[in-house]
């Protein structure tokens, strides 16, 4: 049983990597036989892995047609970012009193590193990693498991993951730095209303830009 689980975890990593690298795109069909053949394993752990990804929302199962990498419409992308902003805004504003000076120092270090990326003209990969670290700290005080789960299924997880390769095209490196520097300034104020509004607007703007990568019609509507 443990071997099957290990294989399933390897398959999940394989499929997620294929999405990140562009080998698999939203809307692409995931064939159990093909995956099993490529990895030289049986179909059982592949089937289990795909079911786990269905639960995560990264794969959509359509009766009589098969399993597909989840494709999002423009509206779904906007909605996912709006939802992510609402959830993170609520989580951070309700826990900001628990942020220590060390937490703010860590956020400042990340923002400083973002500025260095801008100055050195690096590609967007480093900036994306810094962005993730910044928002991980913002969520670090949250103990509401439901908010965490819903956040993972919105832009912090599904939408951002599926559309990761487009992330660097949303804003210039300088704009990414300025947006997070602004968020840090608001966070330091500890003004819960201002924090909630700033985080929500941060995500709404991203969603409006990302929506152009949405599909026109979902697979099950075609």
DSSP for 191-209? -HHHHHHHHHHHHHHHHHH
Q: How many CA atoms lie within 13 A of 177 on its CB side?
A: 18
Element (H, E) at 14: helix 2-21
Is residue 142 located within the same domain as residue 59? Answer: no
Q: Which residues are within 8 A (CB) of 187 and not within 5 positions of it... i.e. 6 or more apart?
A: 92, 96, 99, 104, 107, 138, 195
pLDDT in tens, 175-193: 999 999 999 999 999 999 9
Is residue 154 located within the same domain as residue 85? Answer: yes
The count of domains in the chain is: 2
Is residue 18 located within the same domain as residue 102? Answer: no
Instruction: State the Cα–Cα distance between residues 22 and 179, nearest whole angstrom.
Output: 27
Q: Are 20 and 167 in contact (CB under 8 A)?
A: no
Model confidence at 33, in pLDDT bands (50, 70, 90)? very high
Model confidence at 151, in pLDDT bands (50, 70, 90)? confident
Last residue of a domain, one of 71, 92, 116: 71
Model confidence at 221, in pLDDT bands (50, 70, 90)? very low
Q: Which domain holds residue 54?
A: 2-71
Instruction: State the Cα–Cα distance between residues 146 and 8, nearest whole angstrom.
Output: 25
Last residue of a domain, one of 71, 87, 114: 71
Answering whether pTM is above 0.85, one says no
Is residue 110 located within the same domain as residue 179? Answer: yes
């Amino acid at each position: 049983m443990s071997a099957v689980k290990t294989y399933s975890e390897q398959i999940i990593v394989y499929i997620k990597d294929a999405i990140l690298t562009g080998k698999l795109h939203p809307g692409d069909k995931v064939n159990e036989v093909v995956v099993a053949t490529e990895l030289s394993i049986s179909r059982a752990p592949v089937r289990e892995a795909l079911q786990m990804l269905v639960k995560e929302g990264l794969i959509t199962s359509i009766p009589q047609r098969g399993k597909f990498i989840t494709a999002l419409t423009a509206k779904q992308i906007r909605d996912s970012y709006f939802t992510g902003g609402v959830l993170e805004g609520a989580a951070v504003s309700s826990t900001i009193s628990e942020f220590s000076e060390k937490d703010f120092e860590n956020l400042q270090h990340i923002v400083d590193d973002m500025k260095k990326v801008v100055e050195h003209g690096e590609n967007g990969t480093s900036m994306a990693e810094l962005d993730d670290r910044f928002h991980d700290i913002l969520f670090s005080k949250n103990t509401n498991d439901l908010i965490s789960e819903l956040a993972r299924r919105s832009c912090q997880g599904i939408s951002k993951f599926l559309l990761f390769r487009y992330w660097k095209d949303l804003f210039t490196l300088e704009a990414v730095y300025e947006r997070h520097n602004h968020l840090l300034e608001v966070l330091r104020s500890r003004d819960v209303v201002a924090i909630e509004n700033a985080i929500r607007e941060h995500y709404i703007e991203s969603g409006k830009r990302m929506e152009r990568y949405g599909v026109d019609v979902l697979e099950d509507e075609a």
